[in-house]
Structure formats: structure tokens, C-alpha cells
Amino acid sequence: MEIDPIILVPGAGVAVLLMILYIRFVAGHREAILEEAGVTAFLQLQAPDHRLDRLFVSQNRKSALVFWQDEEVVGIVRSFGNKLVLQILPHSILASNSDGAVLIPRQGLTHPPLHFVTSEEMPVPFLPEGAK
């Protein structure tokens, strides 16, 4: 008895999809939650040459804005699943809006735009130019 490929290929695809959904359901969603101590440790490994000046963690704890001493760049730590990613961008890329959020435009295909809102007040030297 021979199985027709027209039935076999879609059937195998459905079986794989069901297995992936089952594993996702059992394992749950894993998202890294950023905390200041964890981000500081991550930065010591990823950017050991930079001296940390100030660190702001977003309200949703999925991103952090990092300012280094005597440098014109800003670091953005983002969580992608349970992984952390560091981007180093020029300070001039930051913008702000009327509600006090820092806006960071899309950085290629892998880094979507970021609407950064922090629970603490950002001091004036850390805010983008033109921000209130």
C-alpha cells in the first residue's frame, strides 16, 4: 500500500504544526524581564570598555536605555524572548514626544521602533534635545 504525496505532505505539515503548538502551550511564553542589576551584569560582559553613567529601565521591563560617561552614544538593551540584545546608537537618534516618552526609530528589519517610557523622571542631560 502506497501513501499519496498529496495527502502525506499536508498531513506531515499539520502534525508538525500541532507539535509546535503543544510544546509552546506546555512550556509557556518566555520573556526576559529586565532589572537594573541584571542589565548591569549584561553590560559588563557585552561592553566592558564603556563606563556606565546612568541606566533607565522601561515600565514594561522589556528594554533599557543606557548612557555612558564621556561618550556621544547611547545603549539600548532589548529583550527578544529570553535573550538580551545590546544596540549602541548615536545620542542624536533619540527623540521625545509630549508625554515624555523617548522614541527610537526602527533599526533595520530586526529592531522595531521603540516607545520608551520609564517610571522615573529622566534628568535633563539625558533627555533628547528639544524635549520638555
* Mean pLDDT, range 109-115, rounded to an integer: 79
72: in domain: yes
Q: Which residues form the domain of 50?
A: 36-126
Residues 6+ apart with CB under 8 A from 46: 86
The kind and range of the H/E element at 27 are: helix 5-27
**87: in domain:** yes
Please report, as a single letter, which amino acid is at residue 69.
Q
Closest C-alpha to 101, from 89, 79, 119: 119
| Position 23 in a domain | no
Is 95 within the bounds of a domain?
A: yes
The pTM for the full model equals 0.68
Q: Is residue 81 part of a domain?
A: yes
Q: Has residue 65 been placed in a domain?
A: yes
Per residue in 64-88, pLDDT (tens digit) is 989 888 778 888 898 888 889 998 8
SS3 category, 97: coil
Question: In whole angstroms, what is the distance from residue 69 CA to residue 65 CA?
Answer: 14
Domain membership of residue 101 (yes or no) is yes
| Count of structural domains within the chain | 1
- Note whether residue 24 is domain-resident: no
Mean pLDDT of the chain: 82
